[in-house]
Amino acid sequence: MPTVAMSPAIGYLRVSTREQGRSGLGLAAQRSDIQTFGEREGLSVKSWYQDIQTGAGADALLLRPGLAAALKDARAARCPLIVSRLDRLSRNVHFITGLMEHKVHFIVAALPTLGLSSQQLGIRAEELCDVAIVLVQAGETPVRELRSYQTAYLLSGESPRAEI
């Protein structure tokens, strides 16, 4: 059986409090989610970075040296940065959209396509991310809400952008 070459990726983990960081539970779950996703998608995490810091605020790169290093490493290696959930990257809409505008290749393991390709949905991954960002900012759970959003779109056949 031929061996399939895995593409490199960078993993980033974040918890908000020192207590969460000491317990390791949040970090271990995130690492597991990213590894499972990577294996399924043909990505091998070559480096891991983490922070124990809030995800709120526009100064994420100043407050989170692990994120700054992860982004730098991903750019230098020309590979994606993978986070388990969007709120692990940031809870700040402007920060996330800034990454998107600067063409930073990041992947959210919990939101790759939610089981449907963007061709099936008729929308781009960036549009899913736009919706997820709004939900994260509002403190909602993006996976559950996006599944509802996608289901409504598939049933209606209307443009999902009309509802945003």
pLDDT digits (tens, 9 = 90+) for 29-43: 999 999 999 998 899
Average of per-residue pLDDT values in the chain: 74
Report the half-sphere exposure of 6 (CA within 13 A, side-chain side): 14
Query: Average pLDDT of 81-93?
Result: 85
Residue bearing the bigger pLDDT, 101 or 161: 101
What residue type is assigned to position 1 of the chain?
M
Would you place residue 90 in the very low, low, confident or very high pLDDT band (cuts 50, 70, 90)? confident
pLDDT of residue 60: 77
Query: What tokens does 81 get?
Result: 């940065």
Report the half-sphere exposure of 78 (CA within 13 A, side-chain side): 0
Q: Is the pLDDT of residue 117 over 50?
A: no
Q: Is the pLDDT of residue 84 over 70?
A: yes
pTM above 0.95, yes or no: no
Highest mean pLDDT among 4-8, 16-20, 38-42: 38-42
Question: Which string of DSSP letters, residue by residue, matches 80-143?
Answer: -EEESSHHHH-S-HHHHHHHHHTT--EEETT-SSTTS-HHHHTS-HHHHHHHHHHHHHTT--HH
All domains in the chain, ordered by first residue: 1-110 (3.40.50.1390), 112-164 (no CATH)
| Full strand arrangement of the beta sheet holding 43-52 | 43-52, 7-15, 81-83, 106-108
pLDDT of residue 131: 62
Asked which of 4-8, 11-15, 33-37, 64-68 is least confident by mean pLDDT, the reply is 4-8
Q: Is the pLDDT of residue 47 over 90?
A: yes
pLDDT of residue 162: 35
